[in-house]
Amino acid sequence: MDDKTQKLKEKLERLLLDAAETAAELQVAERGARKSVHFSQIEAAAHLVGSQLSCRIQERTARELAANIPQELPCPTCGVLCRLNVERRTVSSTDGSLDLWEPHGHCPRCRRDFFPAARSVGFGRSRVDAGLDTKDRVRCQ
């Protein structure tokens, strides 16, 4: 493991510890310091924070991938060079709904849209059911 990777892991560990402390303090503030609580409530609140973190990581990583797509790409059907636009798209992940920025092109010759980043970041594939009901999913804030 190189030095940069090690430093990033150590930074992440510090941030996770800080987030855990803050989340625990928030739980106490929301329920009151003296109110008894069942462990399942602590677990549910912790899971919600984990889901929110997951959504933010997914959004950030996908945004970075979309930023590296060129401004123009050839149409996959006819090869004409087409300008790419970027639009926001809401997707459902295992941890909740989140907004992603997805590049797409339109070919005037073929009169078709195409999505160059779709396969590289996993968009456009059949939905994978992770075993969560829709009611169990959260909306990333």
d(CA 141, CA 126): 25
Whole-angstrom Cα Rg for the chain: 21
Say if CB 93 and CB 106 are below 8 A apart. no
Residues 6+ positions from 45 with CB-CB distance below 8 Å: 23, 27
**Tens of pLDDT along 7-62?**
999 999 999 999 999 999 999 998 887 778 899 999 999 999 999 999 999 999 98
CB neighbour burial string for 98-120, b if at least 16 within 10 angstroms, e if fewer:
bebbbbbbebeeeeeebbbbeee
And the tokens for 128?
């994978």
Q: What is the pLDDT of residue 117?
A: 62
What single-letter DSSP state applies at residue 126? P
**Rounded mean pLDDT, 98-115:** 91
32 half-sphere exposure, CB direction, 13 A CA radius: 3
